[in-house]
Chains A and B, each alone.
Chain A
């Protein structure tokens, strides 16, 4: 197991380097000269030249990349072009909010998804199963930003039960978390159902029945444990779309998280902030995937055979 974790860690390093390279290169694609933008309108030729010098923009591109990596490792993501403050500072105030939102959403994804999936699998083709699967299909088809607006209109504006937007009280968390978690819940429900139905037809379930085990023991002890193996991977992948989804959902509900920071920064062309935000979100995702892989390994020891 320890060997496996070390091996996976070794595999993660090139991916992280790749991610930093891609982020770095994308920012190089920006038309125009960052020094000119940074210096602001009407700056003198000398100011621009000095800026270029101090930012290292006249060095060869690979040196710039190494400088960038060096900075990132030391927690230096550069400074915002808008207010000159370090990007890391901005990220560290925004990240906890997004983290909280993501945790509630993933909880909704897992709990709702598992319950619906299991209930559907226990009674396949029943009306309950059919309605859950129709809802799940709608869940993966509704754009999160529209679902957010619908929920906001219904529960905040029309019924007035919940606050419209912002991030001040636990009440504020409910709608964004549901909006963000719904799509994932739908996917987890579909996956759990099909995985359970597949497992239920396996030989070892027949063995469990032949032993005279009770129905719920067969489902929760013998079937679910096996059915969970593919579901774990799906939940891991879902975490990625969820992180990406914060961009939309935080914008809908005016939550000052990392996602909204990135969108605002793109609008104002504050590239170091975009760069830092995208990089941090991606690194989190890589890390989550690593954990999911290890969990998958713990649950599914059979891959030792291959």
Chain B
């Protein structure tokens, strides 16, 4: 379970003229096994929020509690261990260009000091899982966008994480490929029991895969609930705008 309590993030907090409040008093609870969508327009703060979960961004105030452990102030080795327990995939895949597909997937295991035989065995299993068993010796540049994201998913799963963060994971993909990647994420959630936190600007993506969603606008959560409920009875203006109910989005 991920609990986010009164979390705020202000950039350049020590300089009033340049200070920028990215997140304001965020409260969220994400249960084990959820596919939780954080929806918002670009600049709404969703990227910052998801990075506060693995502390790539440090909250200015508030707490992040994962499986009952307050992780907000972790540093050094403990912080690195926390991050290793949380998988992450990215909009532009972020594959290491000079590493083969296999060695991209073994990367997190190399960090942990897993033996070569063991990590390659694990990587081959994962590549089978994501449907790229034949591509172990290829390089990222030789793959399509969808294939690259599959490799990134395999890499994110290498350490057997209980949580996976998805940062606009399908935004760079076409509709068909997006659908396939979402199906893969769904099966990972259902079969491996991985909790998925997914940020997106697309209501269609959230609708396809999330059981719960939160809508974020101007750094605040404006609406939260079961996906079906939020979509059927949107309350906040931003939700209605994202759903296209009220025409143009006010900037």
Q: Tell me, yes or no, whether A binds B.
A: no
